[in-house]
Amino acid sequence: MTKRPTAPPDARTPDADSEATPLIRVVDGQQHWIEDRVALEAPLTLMLNGREWVTLLATPSHLDELVLGFLAAEGVIQHPDDVSRVVWDAEDGRAWVRCPALTPATRDALLVGRRTLSACCGRGHPGLVFASDTDVPPVPPGPGLRRLERLPAWVDALDRSARAFQDTGGLHTVALAPLTDHDATGGLDGASPPEDGVGRHFLVVRSDVGRHNALDKVAGWCLLHDAPQPGALAIVFSGRVSAEVVVKAARLGAALVVSHAAPTTLGLQMADALHVTVVAFVRGERLSVYTHPERLGLGGSPPAPY
C-alpha cells in the first residue's frame, strides 16, 4: 500500500500526449495524404471508496498528479497522505481511489449526480455519450460539399462575426451553416457579407465563455426554428474539436465540423463512429481533413507505411 498514487504503465512516455494520425491536407485545392500528430484525449473514471464518482476527459500523462490535484481542488483531500491507495485499471480507464478519512455521508454527497468533466474549459455536459452508446445515431450522408473554398470562407466569416471575442478575447463562437454548395441565402451574389455572417454564410451565430454552452445555444436555436434535416448541416467552430464537441454536433445532425483549431484523438474516434467529417486547421488556402473525406469529394487510400 502506498501513500500516493503511482501512475499507470506508460503514462509518462514521450508520446503520451499525442499520437500519429493519417489525414488529407489540402493546399491550394490539391490533396496530399500525410501523417501528423493529434493531441490525445481519453476518459478516466474515478472510483471513490468503491463507488463511481466522476469521469475526466484528459490527456493521459501524469495521471497520478491529475488525480491528486483534482481531489484537492474538489476539497476531498488536503494532503497526499489522505489517499491511502490508488489502483489503476488501464483497460477500462478507471482509477480506484481510497480515502479512509472520507465519511460515508460526505462520500455520498460527492457522488450525487455522476459527472463527466471535459478536457478543457472546466465542467462539460454530464451526459457525454461515447461511441458504444446507441442514443446518438450516425449522421446520414446528406448532400456533401464539393466547393472546398467555402470552408475558409466560413472560418473567415466566423472570425468577422466574433465581435465579442475581439472585444474581450474570452469567448467561443459557433455558427450553423447549410451543407450545400450555395450560401444560406441561396447563391453567391458577390455582395459584402454581413459582419455576423447570418443570412449569407450562416443560419445562426452564437457565443459564450464556454464552448459547450455556445454549442448548446445553437442546439436551442435549432429546436426553436426549422433547421435543415440531419446530414445537411455544418458546424463552424472557434475551438478545439474534442469528443464532446463531436457528440453535440452529431446530436444536431451536423455532418461536418469545421475549425481553425486542432482535433483530439477521442474527438476523431467519435467522428469516425458517428459519420461526422472533421476539418481542422483551416487557415487561408490550407486545411486538414481527418474523417469521412468522401463528403468533400476527397478520398483514396493513405500511402502504405514504410
Residue 244 has φ and ψ, to the nearest 5°, of -70, -35
- Residue 32 pairs in a beta bridge with 25
Strand order of the β-sheet with 254-259 is: 30-39, 18-27, 286-289, 277-283, 254-259, 233-237, 172-178, 204-208
Unique residue bearing C-alpha cell 480507464: 93
- Residue 164 pairs in a beta bridge with none
Unique residue bearing C-alpha cell 484537492: 72
Quick check: is 121 catalytic? Answer: yes
Q: What is residue 303's DSSP assignment?
A: P
Which is catalytic among the residues 99, 120, 121, 222? 121
Report how far apart, in Å, the C-alpha atoms of 110 and of each of 28, 46, 67, 78, 255 are: 53, 12, 15, 16, 37
Catalytic residues: 121
